[in-house]
Chain A
Amino acid sequence: MHRLRPAHYLMIAPAQLMLAAVIVLPAISLLWLSLERYTYGRAPEFVGLANYLFILGDRAFWRASFNTFVVVNIVVYGELLLGLGLALLVAGWVPFRRLVVSALLAPYAITEVSAVVMWRYMLEPDIGMINYALMAIGLDQIDYGGDPVTALGVAAAMAIWMHTPFTFLILYAALLTVPVELVEAAKVDGAGAWQVFRHVKFRLIVPAILIALLFRYITAMRLFAEIWLLTEGGPARMTEVLAVYLYRQAFKYHEFGVAAATGFAMLVLSLAIAMPYLVQMYRRMVRDAV
């Protein structure tokens, strides 16, 4: 194995410096901010862990954490199931494949704000397309404005609708790389469709699944537009998620120290969720390298 020489370090230095400038330094600055009381019109004041103690004692923070945990899991696993199902369908036999793939990717091309506003119109009480149809067939309307559980469900459904194309794309690409010979060999050995999927395809696309899960967990933790534009965290702040809690602290209450502490709590939570997947991927890399 070649040893890295100073010239090598010099060559990778710009990339490392850029990473340090755009990720490490802001992170350190954020950490420092989370230890200060800082608002407009006042000089920053060092308060130690007071901001962290504040959020830990704030019931709105815990409710937001719980909502985030529930919604993120529904969204990530919902997208995984739907994305996998669609990928299997499209990788198998489907007419007008290119058209179908384009249609499946379309929601990903729509900006979040437009998508949420569109869904909101469709769910408008009495006159929204969805509620109107539900009423026409004698069912009750979807009451996202007065029922927090329904509101979180609608937000999760919107997030799944918007982001499933990402998971679909990763899994579809992975399925296309599964060697045909392996599938044919399994069939020759008498495996049915379910057994081929379970023992051949699934095992080969596990790394892709882990990557999709990891990416979506991290991005879903920042879930904001779906909730903010649908309910602004209401009614009674019962549909707030962590990103909305952070936004409220920063841009409504101008409590930047508390907002920074919330940001760090989100980072820790993301890492806690991502760690098992990262460990699993690292182990696979080491195993494959040996």
Chain B
Amino acid sequence: MTDIAPTRRQMVAGALGVLGATTARAPAIAQARATKLTIMSHAVHKAVATGAKGGDSTAAWRQRTGLDAEWITFSVEGVHERVYREASLADGNVDIAFLLERYGGPHIAALFEDLGEWQKRDPIEHFDEIGEGMKAAHTYRGRMIAIPYRHATHGFFFNRTFFGERGVSAAPRSLEEIAELAERLTYARSDGSRVNGYALSMDDPSAMVDLVRGFGGEFITPDYRVVCNEPGAVKAVALVRDWYRKGVLARNVMSFKTEEVITAMQQGRAAMTNQPFGRFVNYNDPKQSKFPGAIEVVTVPMAAAAGGAVGRPAPAKTSVWAMAIPRNARNKEQSWALIKELSSRESTIRAAVNGNGPVRPSAYDNPDVRQLAPWSDFEKAVLPSARLVLPGFENAAKAMDIYMEEVQRAMLGQTEPQQAMDAAKARIDPLLPKA
């Protein structure tokens, strides 16, 4: 029998050979990398930028440059963790990074190019159309580190089928009305399935702040004052506490993230919620939802007690995703060229047709957008007053965690809403940027 087992010498020689071949190929690999741009983002950005309905916004740029766009997608937190880690290295592999304003802050600004300078040199068309508030969300000490691409602004969703079953004919026009309806819509259907009147994501304050603002309150003001213990804000916490006690909110609501809210609405386990307008598509998708066509969206209304005309939209939460170029990116000229392409009017419309929240108001006038996004009038109406969850600062993540911790303590009955919010203020105040 022939012994085919390699000798130790052959093994070592083989290993060295493989190593040598790998080393020799290294420049080739590096060269191959130079034929594409790496974009790090959430999956939604890839979907809206390259979706089939509206078309691929990167196609023209790819054809022009011969480069390819490689999308690497993560969860919201995952994107930022990896982008910041990559951007901190001496040599980076990320050419364009999508950032959400509440994960940013002045401390990370130095990791990214000042795109204000790039804009001066090689301007994006009709740049002034993009709202100043959106640009400001990614500008720190005069450095604009990212160009707004997508906004996710909250609307108020309700299930028309459940409204019918409980004898409700019209969308609520005030927060008080929502509070009352939420109890009425907490019931067992004729088939025995149970419905919770309201679903709320509780992993961060983005859903809570709609209620807070609806009652005329705020969490942290743009000039960094914690005001979550003022009457309007406390009223929202008291409402949520009461909903939890009465079973309006699901028993496990405190572990709800966006995904759980989506599932609850799609499966008919919740009757109402406040989420980004774009979720309309998910809620009414016949492939995913048990209630396609029955879930409607309007603006989150103000509380009548907070003043103003009945039906006036509350300054709902908005968040702004924007495109940045890490300082250590290798092909900044092309990164900027692609950002320009994605920011053009045409690309904005294409992405909006693919379900994006357009940062250019003119996109709402496009007939295709209006047809595919029946919520566009409501979204356009709320945009002028919509606000970020909180202004960006280094300890924003801690501040949001503390706030939600105190809200949940109130919900559990460990403390009263006013005490909880006083405690939140006392704990968050030292985390704010010093004047």
Interface of A with B (CB < 8 Å)? Answer: 39-42, 124-127, 141, 143-146, 230-232, 234-237, 248, 251-254
Contacts and interface: CB of A to CB of B under 8 A. Distances in A.
A153 to B, nearest CB: 15
Which secondary structure characterizes the binding site on chain A?
loop
B409 A143 contact: no
5 contacts: A231-B254, A234-B255, A236-B406, A237-B401, A254-B397
A40 B405 contact: no
B110 A41 contact: yes
A41 B140 CA distance: 13
Given A125-B252, A145-B252, A145-B253, A236 B107 contact: no
Contact of A232 (B110, B255, B412): B255
B85 A40 contact: yes
Interface string B197-220: 000001100000000000000000
Nearest to B88: A40
Contacts of A144: 252
Contacts of A124: 252
B254 A253 contact: no
A236 B77 contact: no
A125 to B, nearest CB: 5
A258 to B, nearest CB: 11
Given A40-B111, A146-B252, 7 more contacts: A40-B87, A42-B107, A146-B253, A230-B255, A235-B255, A236-B406, A253-B397
A145 B254 contact: yes
A231 B255 contact: yes
A126 B412 contact: no
Contacts of A42: 107
Nearest to A255: B398
Nearest to A249: B398
A139 to B, nearest CB: 14
Contacts of B244: 146
Interface string B217-261: 000000000000000000000000000100000111111000000
B385 interface: no
Given A126-B194, A235-B408, A235-B411, A254 B84 contact: yes
Contact of B251 (A145, A252, A254): A145
Contacts of B70: none
A161 to B, nearest CB: 20
B108 interface: yes
B141 to A, nearest CB: 13
B80 to A, nearest CB: 9
A237 B194 CA distance: 28
Given A40-B87, A41-B84, A251-B81, A235 B107 contact: no
A57 to B, nearest CB: 13
Contacts of B405: 236-237
A41 B408 contact: no
A41 B401 CA distance: 22
B324 interface: no
B107 A40 contact: yes
Interface in B150-207: 193-194, 202-203
Tell me which of B251, B408, B412 has the highest count of chain A C-beta atoms within 10 A of its own C-beta.
B251
A125 B255 contact: no
Interface centre among A42, A127, A141, A252 (most CB of B within 10 A): A252
B109 interface: yes
A127 B194 CA distance: 9
Nearest to B87: A40
B397 A145 contact: no
Given A143-B252, A237-B405, A251 B77 contact: yes
Nearest to A231: B255
Contacts of A231: 254-255
B212 to A, nearest CB: 18
A146 B412 contact: yes
A127 B395 CA distance: 39
B108 A40 contact: yes
Contacts of A251: 77, 81
Given A251-B77, A252-B401, A145 B255 contact: yes
Contacts of A127: 193, 269
A39 B87 CA distance: 12
B393 to A, nearest CB: 13
A234 B408 contact: yes
Interface in B72-108: 77, 81, 84-85, 87-88, 107-108
Nearest to A126: B194
B414 interface: yes
Given A40-B108, A42-B107, A253 B251 contact: no
Nearest to A124: B252
Nearest to A234: B254
A230 B77 CA distance: 18
Most buried by A among B84, B202, B250, B254: B254
A185 to B, nearest CB: 49
Given A144-B252, A146-B251, A236-B408, A41 B88 contact: yes
Nearest to A42: B107
Interface in B376-405: 394-395, 397-398, 401, 405
